[in-house]
Amino acid sequence: MTTDLSGRVAVVTGGSRGLGREMVRALAGAGADVVIASRKLDACQALAREVEAQTGRRALPLACHVGSWADCDALADAAYAEFGRVDVLINNAGIAPQYDRVEDVSENLWDKVLDVNLKGAFRLSARVGARMAADGGGSIINVSSLASLRPRPAVIPYAAAKAGVNAMTEAFAHAFGPSVRVNAILPGTFFTDISRHWDMKAFAEDAATMALRRGGEPHEITGIVLYLAGDASSYTTGALIRVDGGFP
């Protein structure tokens, strides 16, 4: 089945790079107009120009720090002001700062990780999801992480935040059902900008335990995104879907 999103509008946070950039490209390629949001407006603008040139779809670049409640509200307001509707919301923005020891985690780091990964997704889902329900339906896609199910010492705040995203996904599915579907994607290891900082020896050991024996390429996230954004997933909600190459 080919996904046709013609006439629909999708908002993607963290949309200017990494997995978010591939999601934006795929959604526009399927016919959707897109709102590209991240903290770096210039990166959003560059991708918007590319999308419009390659797909002919409208692309609205917006600066947004999802850790700010006010920025989330401004993003939702700008999307509706420009397009009059939002059919797909992808809460993709996230951060996972590194630390050497658990006791080195500061209150500031903890708050920053929870704000970006959990608070922003909550506020946007609440604002946009309520409007979707009033308008007759839509799809919210939360980007969680395999770390929410397989937490490790190096990412405790991040794993805790993403576990919260999982809980929120099921709760919002009930809050906004039956017209709005809410699901979460749990990516494993993907070769994005962040992978440049990986310990590749440690990654090779992890990859050897995976069913596919490798990390994912960024474009490999788009199949599940298009499925959840489109009509093929009409009976899928409250789901946590792993996309991790068969991590044990």
Positions annotated as catalytic residues are 144, 158, 162
Phi, psi of 45 (to 5 degrees): -65, -40
d(CA 94, CA 96): 7
| Pick from 92, 38, 52: nearest CA to 228 | 92
Contact 27, 225 (CB under 8 A): yes
One-letter amino acid identity for 17?
A: R
Give the C-alpha distances (Å, rounded to integers) separating 239 from 132, 195, 232. 19, 27, 14
d(CA 158, CA 161): 5
| Pick from 50, 161, 42, 246: nearest CA to 169 | 161
The H or E element containing residue 70 is helix 69-83
